[in-house]
Amino acid sequence: MTQAEIKLCSLLLQEHFGEIVDKIGTHLIRTGSQPLRAIVHGTGTSLDQVKKALCVLIQHNLVTYQIHKRGIVEYEAHCSRILRILRYPRYIYTAKTLYSDTGELIVEELLLNGKMTMSAVVKKVADRLTETMEDGKTMDYAEVSSTFCRLADTHFVQRCPLVPDPPESAEAQPPPPAPTLSINEKDMYLVPKLNLIGKGKRRRSSDDDAAGEPRPKRPKQTAESKEPMPDDGIYWQANLDRFHQHFRDQSIVNAVANRMDQTSSEIVRTMLRMSEITTSSGAPFTQPLSSNEIFRSLPVGYNISKQVLDQYLTLLADDPLEFVGKSGDSGGGMYVINLHKALASLAMATLESIVQERFGSRCARIFRLVLRKKHLEQKQVEDFAMIPAKEAKDMLYKLLSENLISLQEIPKTPDHAPSRTFYLYTVNSLSAARMLLRRCYKSIANLIERRQFETRENKRLLEKSQRVEAILASMQATGAEEAQLQEIEEMITAPERQQLESLKRNVNKLDASEIQVDETIFVLESYAESTMKRS
Amino acid sequence: MAEVKVKAQPPDADPVEIENRIIELCHQFPHGITDQVIQNEMPHIEAQQRAMAINRLLSMGQLDLLRSNTGLLYRIKESQNTGKMKGSDNQEKLVYQIIEDAGNKGIWSRDIRYKSNLPLTEINKILKNLESKKLIKAVKSVAASKKKVYMLYNLQPDRSVTGGAWYSDQDFESEFVEVLNQQCFKFLQSKAETARESKQNPMIQRNSSFASSHEVWKYICELGISKVELSMEDIETILNTLIYDGKVEMTIIAAKEGTVGSVDGHMKLYRAVSPIIQPTGLVRAPCGLCPVFDDCHEGGEISPSNCVYMTEWLEF
């Protein structure tokens, strides 16, 4: 856990869960896995508060526990999981594109609450959707349930590990200090058979609603909450790995679309969709798919003939990008997608883009040159890149000082005399990717800090505007005159209004920027993971 | 009178006569004559007289002394050289000889010193002398800019010294390379555009978006933007820089010997491509491009709260 990561986790925990959780969480990240007493001692907070903070963290899957020998339970925080909090908006947006508003709200509820039962999710989402709909219309539970089932079928949500049923033996064993949770692989996406009947309810029981409707529903609601739900104990969480797989597929398809044309990218998208469930997320290659299968699975709108499809597949397999490879000839040609190579190309393109924006296009040329040729001498760099010697030297040293390029010495004589050694420039992609990853973490931490600073600076103004809004709302509710409302509104002067506007704009911009840097983090992290798994 | 004939050559004590005879002999055998030949021709002359005559001719610069595997050779020197060399002494002639032998690659002053075993000061004086007489010239080498190589005045310096088409007067022509770079890229881009718009089946579309290095070379020659004659290898180095710019990709296909533009049985095809990703997220934030990134932390001189770059960026 690098300093930058720890700082970022601390900021995220503070923003989403508060000071105490932040303290406990940071302590756990710094010190590794600790028993309860050690946490209390180390952070200096009371036992009660530590327990509550740990509850919050465990509920959100940020901390896990384990029983060690001698019966001590130790808690461990997962730094990488905490960093995923940054990506929540992207997950929610993906769910929205795939399953529209219903899916969006389901995933949002699951992410914000950590773990929930299906019935609770369905009820809440139906209520929220009903509020946004027009008067008189309500959201049916059945629709929400069906969307939930679809999310489970495509593995976007999964069941949390459960306490296994106690064995039937009559021996009264003392309960273990902490329950061990386990879940069967095939049960993970099994939706319980629930008979959820009902409709969403509006929160506001204003008189404008259809008379009589809210009132009979209210007693029914309280009656319902007294019965235990049939799926009590079966909790669901969002399956982040699946979302990551989806993001990875999306970037591959975009890359193919940029390099070739729309049709090729659609074919690649089909192939990836077919291997969604069959290939594990860490595999370097997808399962081989035959050209006949691909032809059958193409989306309905695409009516290209079989020969054209074959031609496209051949072109994809021959492309220098090497995303698609041909692994056999049965079934009209078996094709695989080379996931590791695709991730590596995307990561290298990211590195090159960063070098280009930071240092200029000539430096980018030198960087790409050394990346492709692996090891080069100074003279060779000048010759290949067609850049004058003095400038090339300058650029190479600048890249060297930023640790994006490194030197490899090859001595000619045993005494390593500098005049008789070869000095070769080379790019170590994994370490360069890791270094840039650290820079990304620090950048996001900076952006969050700046956002908090901006909000703090204008706190007075924000409080004033909130007060004015509250006054306006209450006056409108009690039926005030137009003139009075106008007067209240003028309490906020025009320059103050402008300041508020610019504050809102700045905060939005900083937020958006955080999400964009997170995209870079995703590409670099996937590449690092995939490379580590291979070696 | 036969007696007179037998006694054909009265002992010619006249050194001038001897010299003239030797010169005639040399003219007869332009490749050079050995001492033996002279001896055969003029058997009555003593060795000493012969030697004196040869020395005189050498010092006058009319004869060249060469060493061959059979012994020493004497050769008549070209007449115009004798005119040039008038007034020069032996050392200068030696140095001139060495420079002449170096051909169009030229020779460095230190090498001249090794070959002639003359001290440095002498060499410098002689070189200055020869330069003022416009017999030799100094050419700056492109590899090491301080090094000067000398070659005969009327010779064209070799490519390795001047650096070829990309260098003019020892200066790397960056603008020229840039212009060529852009022209090649535009050509390939327009080819890809027309191929994409033709909307035929994908194989044909892709194949027509390729251009071989020969085609590009012809196009550039026809454009006529280059004053220097460019070869196909030159164009290939330019296309390689485009590959390193990420704008072009290359494939090699096997081609029959004899098809236009094929080298050793294969051809290089180039195609303009667009980058596979948009500029990445990190560089859209000011922190990605910040030059003082490592000095920045909360509470310090440079911190996110008072960052000037962020303030400017937020005002866009």
Cβ-defined contact of B277 to A361 (cutoff 8 Å): no
CB A153 within 8 A of CB A277: no
Q: Is B91 on the interface with A (CB under 8 A)?
A: no
Question: Which token pair is A465?
Answer: 């505007």
**pLDDT tens for residues A518-529?**
999 999 999 998
Amino acid at A120: A
Of A263, A354, A523, the CB nearest to B288: A354
Residue of A nearest to B207 (CA): A315
Amino acid at A447: L
Amino acid at A341: K
In this structure, the number of other CB atoms found within 10 A of the CB of residue B135 comes to: 19
Q: Which of A90, A386, A508 to mutate to test the interface with B (most CBs of B within 10 A)?
A: A386
Cβ-defined contact of A315 to B305 (cutoff 8 Å): no
Of A346, A352, A515, the CB nearest to B246: A352
Q: Kindly give the residue spans of alpha helices, DSSP state H, lying in A405-458.
A: 429-457
CB A313 within 8 A of CB A267: yes
Q: What pLDDT, on the 0 to 100 scale, is given for residue A210?
A: 38
Q: What pLDDT, on the 0 to 100 scale, is given for residue A175?
A: 62
Helix (H, G, I), strand (E, B) or coil at B154: coil
Q: What pLDDT, on the 0 to 100 scale, is given for residue A425?
A: 92
Cβ-defined contact of A354 to B280 (cutoff 8 Å): yes
Query: Rounded mean pLDDT of chain A?
Result: 82
CA dist list (Å): A390 to A319, B106, B172: 37, 25, 11
Q: Is B244 on the interface with A (CB under 8 A)?
A: yes
Element (H, E) at B212: strand B211-212
Question: Which token pair is A341?
Answer: 């190579």
- Segment among A101-110, A297-306, B20-29, B276-285 with least mean pLDDT: B20-29
Any residues with CB less than 8 A from the CB of A2 and at least 6 apart, and which?
Answer: A438, A441
Residue of B nearest to A512 (CA): B285
- Segment among A86-90, A116-120, B52-56 with least mean pLDDT: B52-56
Q: What pLDDT, on the 0 to 100 scale, is given for residue A527?
A: 92
% of chain A surpassing 70 pLDDT:
87
pLDDT band at A388 (very low <50, low <70, confident <90, very high): confident
Closest-CA distance, A66 to chain B, in angstroms, reads 36
The number of residues in chain B equals 316
Q: Is B282 on the interface with A (CB under 8 A)?
A: yes
Whose tokens are 């930071």? That residue is A358
Q: Per residue of chain B (316 residues), give pLDDT as tens.
A: 444 444 444 455 577 777 777 777 777 776 767 777 777 777 776 777 777 877 777 777 677 777 767 667 777 665 544 445 554 567 777 777 777 777 777 777 777 777 777 778 877 888 788 788 877 777 776 666 667 777 777 776 666 556 666 666 556 677 888 888 888 888 888 888 888 787 777 777 777 788 888 888 888 888 877 777 777 888 888 888 888 888 888 888 777 666 666 667 778 888 888 888 888 888 888 888 888 888 888 888 888 888 888 888 888 7
Q: Is B287 on the interface with A (CB under 8 A)?
A: yes
Mean pLDDT of A327-347: 86
User: What are A408's strand-pairing partners?
Assistant: A424
Torsion angle of C-alpha atoms A169, A171, A176, A179, degrees rounded to 10: 20
Q: Kindly give the residue spans of alpha helices, DSSP state H, lying in chain B.
A: 2-6, 15-28, 35-41, 47-60, 79-84, 90-101, 109-116, 120-132, 159-162, 174-198, 202-209, 213-223, 232-244, 308-314
Mean pLDDT of A331-352: 88
Any residues with CB less than 8 A from the CB of A86 and at least 6 apart, and which?
Answer: A12, A444, A514, A515, A518, A521
Query: How many alpha carbons lie under 13 Å from residue A470 in its C-beta half-sphere?
Result: 6
Distance CA A102, CA A39 (A): 41
Helix (H, G, I), strand (E, B) or coil at A131: helix
Phi, then psi, of A192 in degrees rounded to 5:
-70, 150
Whose tokens are 């010193």? That residue is B113
**pLDDT tens for residues A225-246?**
445 566 677 888 888 888 998 9
Q: Is B179 on the interface with A (CB under 8 A)?
A: no
Buried b (16+ CB within 10 A) or exposed e, A256-267: bbbbbbebbbbb
Q: What pLDDT, on the 0 to 100 scale, is given for residue A208?
A: 37
Mean pLDDT of A91-104: 90
Distance CA B118, CA B90 (A): 12
Any residues with CB less than 8 A from the CB of A401 and at least 6 apart, and which?
Answer: none
Distance CA A8, CA A84 (A): 11
% of chain A surpassing 90 pLDDT:
20
Size of interface A-B (CB pairs under 8 A): 136
Cβ-defined contact of B245 to A315 (cutoff 8 Å): no
Q: Positive or negative, the Cα torsion across A204, A209, A213, A215?
A: positive
Distance CA B271, CA B242 (A): 10
Any residues with CB less than 8 A from the CB of B290 and at least 6 apart, and which?
Answer: B296, B307, B309
Q: Whose CA is closest to A280, among A148, A151, A155? A: A155
Distance CA A319, CA B251 (A): 9
Q: Positive or negative, the Cα torsion across B269, B270, B276, B280?
A: positive
Q: What pLDDT, on the 0 to 100 scale, is given for residue A494?
A: 80
Cβ-defined contact of B280 to A449 (cutoff 8 Å): no
The edge-to-edge listing of strands for the beta sheet with B72-76 is B33-34, B72-76, B63-67
Distance CA B38, CA B42 (A): 6
Distance CA A532, CA A513 (A): 29
Of A314, A449, A509, the CB nearest to B314: A509
pLDDT tops 90 at residue A158:
no
Mean pLDDT of A171-189: 65
Q: What pLDDT, on the 0 to 100 scale, is given for residue A206?
A: 39
Pairing assessment for the beta strands B107-108 and B148-152 based on DSSP bridges: antiparallel
Torsion angle of C-alpha atoms B263, B264, B266, B269, degrees rounded to 10: -20
Q: What pLDDT, on the 0 to 100 scale, is given for residue B20?
A: 76
CB B62 within 8 A of CB B76: yes
Q: Kindly give the residue spans of alpha helices, DSSP state H, lying in A154-286.
A: 214-226, 240-259, 262-274
Closest-CA distance, B109 to chain A, in angstroms, reads 23
pLDDT band at A209 (very low <50, low <70, confident <90, very high): very low
Distance CA A96, CA B224 (A): 57
pLDDT tops 80 at residue A488:
no
CB B183 within 8 A of CB B220: yes
Question: Which token pair is A265?
Answer: 């990218």
Distance CA A210, CA A206 (A): 9
pLDDT tops 80 at residue A146:
yes
* Cβ contacts of A389 on chain B, cutoff 8 Å: 172
Buried b (16+ CB within 10 A) or exposed e, B265-288: eebbbbbbbeebbeebbbbbbbbb
In this structure, the number of other CB atoms found within 10 A of the CB of residue B245 comes to: 18
* Cβ contacts of A353 on chain B, cutoff 8 Å: 275, 277, 279-280, 283
- Highest-confidence segment of A143-147, A205-209, A278-282, B24-28: A143-147
Question: Which token pair is B65?
Answer: 């002394």
Q: What is the CA radius of gyration of chain A?
A: 29
Helix (H, G, I), strand (E, B) or coil at A144: helix
Q: Is B208 on the interface with A (CB under 8 A)?
A: no
* Cβ contacts of B196 on chain A, cutoff 8 Å: 261
Q: What pLDDT, on the 0 to 100 scale, is given for residue A524?
A: 93
Whose tokens are 């890149």? That residue is A385
Q: What pLDDT, on the 0 to 100 scale, is given for residue B51?
A: 78
**pLDDT tens for residues A492-513?**
778 888 888 889 999 999 999 9
Closest-CA distance, A534 to chain B, in angstroms, reads 24
Q: What pLDDT, on the 0 to 100 scale, is given for residue A136?
A: 65
Q: Which of B177, B252, B282 to mutate to test the interface with A (most CBs of A within 10 A)?
A: B282
- Segment among A66-70, A387-391, A465-469, B25-29 with least mean pLDDT: B25-29
Domain positions in chain A: 3-77, 79-165+178-200+233-238, 241-337, 342-427, 433-475+486-531
pLDDT band at A207 (very low <50, low <70, confident <90, very high): very low
CB B267 within 8 A of CB B253: yes
Torsion angle of C-alpha atoms A380, A382, A386, A389, degrees rounded to 10: -150
Distance CA A518, CA A512 (A): 10
Helix (H, G, I), strand (E, B) or coil at A290: strand
**pLDDT tens for residues A4-59?**
899 999 999 999 999 999 999 899 999 888 888 888 888 888 889 999 998 999 88
Distance CA B275, CA A357 (A): 14
Question: Which token pair is B178?
Answer: 């840039």
CB A159 within 8 A of CB A188: yes
